[in-house]
Amino acid sequence: MKKTTVKSTIAIIIRLILGFLFLYASLDKIIYPSKFAEIIYNYRVLPVELVNICAILVPWIEVFIGIMLLIGIWIDASAFMLSSITFVFTFLIISAIFRGLNIECGCFSLDAEGSLVSWKRVIEDIFILIGGLYLVWFNWKR
């Protein structure tokens, strides 16, 4: 197999995995916005007044990133947004760990069991971030 074919196959696999992941991650947040707002508030980084608008907007950004990656439109921008948003999430989780906050992560499902902020979540996010950056790089001049 040619080197370029291998690279594009990897890019397609990463794109589909990340697309599905982001679409899945957005579902609970859209269904239970007040629960997601509470999770955002618990990170104690945003002014109280802005928590709701974030809880309303962020899941829909994830939806569109997911859809774009799955159907393969504007992959560069979707991957860029995915990387940016994942970078912010990772930073927030690390900051919560260092501040000793034992709070729900709000990463994928909003179920309290097993989704608390932890280094495991940080590692997951770093993998997602690497995948996102790979897609940005791969689609940079396409």
Partner 1 sequence: MNPTNPIFRIFYRSVCIFMIALCCSLLFNLISPKGLPLITSYRKISIGDKTHKIPLFQTRSFRKDKSSTGQVHVPEEIQLKNVLFHYENSSAIFIDTRNHEDYTEGHIPRAISIPLESFDFKSEILSELSKDQGIITYCDGEECSQSIDMAVYLEELGFTNVYFFIEGWLEWQESGYPISEGDQP
Binding-site size, partner 1 (CB under 8 A): 39
Minimum separation from the CB atom of position 11 to partner 1 (A): 16
Name which position in 18, 25, 51, 105 contacts partner 1 (CB under 8 A): 51
Q: DSSP characters for 14-64?
A: HHHHHHHHHHHHHHHHHH-HHHHHHHHHHT--S-GGGHHHHHHHHHHHHHH
Residue span binding partner 1 (CB under 8 A) among the ranges 9-17, 25-33, 89-97, 123-131: 25-33
Minimum separation from the CB atom of position 48 to partner 1 (A): 5
| Angle (deg, nearest 10), helices 51-71 and 3-31 | 150
Q: Which residues in 54-93 contact partner 1 (CB under 8 A)?
A: 55-57, 59-61, 63-65, 68, 74, 76-78, 80-81
Which residue do the tokens 């859809």 mark?
67
**Do the beta carbons of residue 109 and residue 39 sit within 8 Å?**
no
Residue 28 sits in the site that holds partner 1 (CB under 8 A): no
